[in-house]
Chain A
Amino acid sequence: QPVLTQPPSVSAAPGQKVTISCSGHSSNIGSSYVSWYRQLPGTAPKLLIYQNNQRPSGIPDRFSGSKSGTSATLGITGLQPGDDADYYCGTWDTSLSAGVFGGGTKLTVL
């Protein structure tokens, strides 16, 4: 059972906005940076957001991240067919002294 909780699936139409939640505890999200990843079928995950809300070079500003308390959110605006993928949140758990990921969310662009 993943330490971080994400909805199994979300969907939205092209051009719309979607948010993906990631819920944790004070020992993980509440006390550590959150990162977000996108995984296209058959490929390795790719970093979208680090330090809760920072975008690596090359990641468009359609992608945004936020954190409040023990929850984090990934936002994607202007949805495109290519955004159809699995999305994962990740952080460090101070109680486990281990990295942890959410179970993943399948985004379907209708």
Chain B
Amino acid sequence: QVQLQESGPGLMKPSGTLSLTCAVSGGSISSSKWWSWVRQPPGKGLEWIGEINQSGSPNYNPSLKSRVTISIDKPKNQFSLKMSSVTAADTAVYYCVRGGPGGGHGADSWGQGTLVTVSS
């Protein structure tokens, strides 16, 4: 069974660039067409950030598109998220996910999530 593990800084300063990596284990990243990032601010609901496919083509949440880049590294079996110009509003638990909410198989595997706090 595939497992996902997020890694990245827990604390960031405003205006910085957030970088997170999702390591996929127990299976090949090529086993699924799409891989996504989802975030959840403390006490709030889920927000889809974006996704990337096997060809490296991404889709992004329009509200975040100008600040977000998602990439895939098949040899390393991982995919990554970069978000620039972060503010306190970007404080959230960030999840990496196999699939997505509208995909044929849904978002069927989730990482445990990593809390990113943006504070000066």
Q: List 7 A-B contacts (CB under 8 A).
A: A46-B110, A56-B106, A90-B48, A97-B59, A97-B62, A101-B48, A103-B45
CA of A43 to CA of B60, assembled, Å = 25
Please state if A33 and B103 are interface contacts (CB–CB under 8 Å).
yes
- On chain B, the residues within 8 Å of A91 by CB distance are 101-102
CA of A100 to CA of B36, assembled, Å = 12
User: Which of B45, B51, B112 is in CB contact (< 8 Å) with A99?
Assistant: B51
How many A-B residue pairs lie within 8 Å, measured between CB atoms? 88
Per-residue CB proximity of B45-78 to A under 8 Å, as 1/0?
1111011000000011110000000000000000
Interface size class of B (residues with CB under 8 A): 20 to 34
Please state if A100 and B110 are interface contacts (CB–CB under 8 Å).
no
- On chain A, the residues within 8 Å of B48 by CB distance are 90, 98-101
Given known A98-B48, A100-B48, A101-B45, contact A90–B107 (CB-CB < 8 A): yes
Q: How many A residues have CB within 8 A of the partner chain?
A: 29
Which residues of B come within 8 Å of A, CB atoms? 36, 38, 45-48, 50-51, 59-62, 95, 100-108, 110-113
CA of A93 to CA of B63, assembled, Å = 14
Please state if A90 and B113 are interface contacts (CB–CB under 8 Å).
no
CA of A85 to CA of B45, assembled, Å = 13
Please state if B113 and A56 are interface contacts (CB–CB under 8 Å).
no
Given known A44-B113, A98-B62, A99-B36, contact A104–B101 (CB-CB < 8 A): no
Nearest A residue to B48 via CB reads A99
